[in-house]
Amino acid sequence: MRLTVIGTGYLGATHAAAMAELGHDVLGLDVDQSKIDRLNAGEVPFFEPGLPELLRKSLDSGRLRFTTSYDEAGAFGEVHFICVGTPQRKGEYAADMTYVNAAADSLVSVLRPGALVVGKSTVPLGTAARLAESIEQVGAELVWNPEFLREGYAVEDTLRPDRVVMGGHSGAALKQLAEVYAVILDAGTPLVCTDFATAELVKVAANSFLATKISFINAMAEVCEVTGADVTQLATAIGHDARIGHRFLNAGLGFGGGCLPKDIRAFMARAGELGVDQALSFLKEIDEINLRRRARMVDLARELCDGTLAGVRVAVLGAAFKPNSDDIRDSPALDVAVSVQRAGAAVRVYDPQAMDNARRDYPTLAYVPSAVDAAQDADVVLHLTEWAEFRAMRPSLLGAVVAERRIVDGRNALDSEAWRAEGWTYRALGRP
Ligand SMILES: NC(=O)c1ccc[n+]([C@@H]2O[C@H](COP(=O)([O-])OP(=O)(O)OC[C@H]3O[C@@H](n4cnc5c(N)ncnc54)[C@H](O)[C@@H]3O)[C@@H](O)[C@H]2O)c1
């Protein structure tokens, strides 16, 4: 089938390359000319493991190319995927729908009758029903098909998702989208066909659940900190209960990124508009628990440095919001780095992939090319993003260059015994 993918960021670029891999002819579209030029040249404009190989393979096959022209997209596509961003509105909790609305308007003006539009962006409840009106007026149809990919595993998650969710009110449209995903569905992937509202809700409900699980164990970490209990042992013990499970139960600096924080806030804002704000008031607490971890991390660093960060040299390991990504949107690591700097510390940041993005958005921090450079003469080391490189690091490597062997493990991911055995004062969130 001939598909277009509107918006070629983390979601759209991956989706476009993956759909070509499934055998479709794909045209990716973005308003950002430089992004389109790089994609056409076979270069992924962000870090995503496995995507450069898939992009080049799809370009070489002749089944994938990129454009900035909506006219070209309208003439080419039988099915159009909307993958543009829905960031948090400045100064508000609600989602900024500017990009989705603009993409939908541009598409409507070029759609061929009989075309199918598929919404993948994460949107407030009611968006699909609203967009469907103008799309149906030009003889096209809409299906809502939320995306669940995880950055760092985006290729795998797109080609082999846990489930496919499709919401709509036209059987023919749902059937057409099922044909697009035939290879995935034939492999036994569960399919949930539902209405617009449920499809929209599946995405924000899933993210709210995951955020709740993370903040739950981080709330337990707060209790552990005043009782001398160990949250990592607690998590292991409760996670053995199959009803609870171990995943997303790692206490630490909490969640960030371009999805969970803004999605739970937009969900709360929309619930308020719908008159069901009480149903989601717990999400406010989830958000606050999450943000309190960042403040606690700064306090721990201060405690370790005899009560003040003024004039202290701090090594920050990690800038991305999570490992295997260069995404720094709402990154807990950079939030902590900035707070520590504001408290008077001299901060040096190292991240294996996110340095360019961090330098662009946080130009006042100092960036160095390796963990050892960050740790040079440092009074304290803060481990803030659990890259494999940091987890595998021998304590003696940094021990040889720091001024003081003091480390705060913001991710509970380092081997505390190994660090202590090398003479480090090791502190972590939620542990003695
Ligand atoms: N990143 C993820 O892990 C992920 C996972 C699931 C769902 N989502 C959702 O997918 C959506 C996109 O997220 P992302 O992380 O890919 O965002 P992104 O910011 O990386 O990409 C958005 C792209 O859309 C382009 N764009 C903006 N306006 C446009 C327009 N009118 N026409 C064409 N292109 C336009 C931008 O230039 C940008 O390249 C969001 O709603 C997000 O919540 C993201």
For residues 353 and 324, what is the distance between their CA atoms, to the nearest angstrom? 8
pTM for the complete prediction?
A: 0.96
What is the third-level CATH fold of 2-194?
A: Rossmann fold (3.40.50)
d(CA 387, ligand 1 centre) in Å: 25
For residues 351 and 358, what is the distance between their CA atoms, to the nearest angstrom? 9
- Pocket mutation for ligand 1, best pick of 8, 69, 84 (most atoms within 8 Å of C-beta): 84
Confidence class for position 53, pLDDT limits 50, 70, 90: very high
d(CA 354, ligand 1 centre) in Å: 18
The residues spanned by each domain of the chain are 2-194, 204-287, 290-428
Two structure tokens written together for 69? 């022209």
Confidence class for position 231, pLDDT limits 50, 70, 90: very high
User: Which residues are CB-contacts of 354 (< 8 A; sequence separation ≥ 6)?
Assistant: 47, 319, 320, 325, 326, 327, 328, 331, 385
Domain 2-194 shares a fold with domain 204-287: no
Q: Is 259 annotated in the active site? A: yes
Residue 156: predicted pLDDT:
98
Quick: pLDDT tens for 373-406.
999 999 999 999 999 999 999 999 999 999 999 9
Point out the catalytic residue in the list 83, 224, 259, 305: 259
For residues 181 and 176, what is the distance between their CA atoms, to the nearest angstrom? 9
Homologous superfamily of domain range 204-287: N-(1-d-carboxylethyl)-l-norvaline Dehydrogenase; domain 2 (1.10.1040.10)
Quick: pLDDT tens for 298-345.
999 999 999 999 999 999 999 999 999 999 999 999 999 999 999 999
Q: Residue type for 88, please? A: Q
Q: Tell me the CATH number of domain 290-428, given options 2.60.120.260, 3.40.50.720, 3.40.50.11030, 3.40.50.1820.
A: 3.40.50.720
Mean pLDDT for the stretch of residues 209-221:
98
Quick: pLDDT tens for 236-275.
999 999 999 999 999 999 999 999 999 999 999 999 999 9
